[in-house]
Amino acid sequence: MTVQSEVKFQLGKNLVTPGAIKAIDNSLKTHKRVRISVLKAATRDRTELKKIAEEIKSKTEKKTEYRILGYTIILIKQ
């Protein structure tokens, strides 16, 4: 039996809501990585994607770093 080390979320046109931040925070308590897919309805602009990643990083309680691969933000707990 393997332990899942990452959780997956999707952000739609509402982007970063308080509920999404709370869910990401809860996931970071038990997982090292969180994968967040940004849907087409949200944005397809790379600079906007980086702003979204920075916003998520600043609003989470845990100290995290992020990586952007395509239209996916990967949060890594430090």
pLDDT digits (tens, 9 = 90+) for 8-48: 999 999 999 999 999 999 999 999 999 999 999 999 999 99
Confidence of residue 1 (pLDDT cuts 50, 70, 90): very low
Residue 34 pairs in a beta bridge with 7, 75
Give which of 14, 53, 62 is closest to 35, Cα–Cα. Answer: 53
Give which of 33, 30, 24 is closest to 66, Cα–Cα. Answer: 33
CB atoms closer than 10 angstroms to residue 28: 20
Q: pTM to 2 decimals? A: 0.89
The conformation of residue 61, written as its DSSP 8-state character, comes to: S
**For the chain, domain boundaries:** 6-77
For domain 6-77, give the fold.
Translation Initiation Factor IF3 (3.30.110)
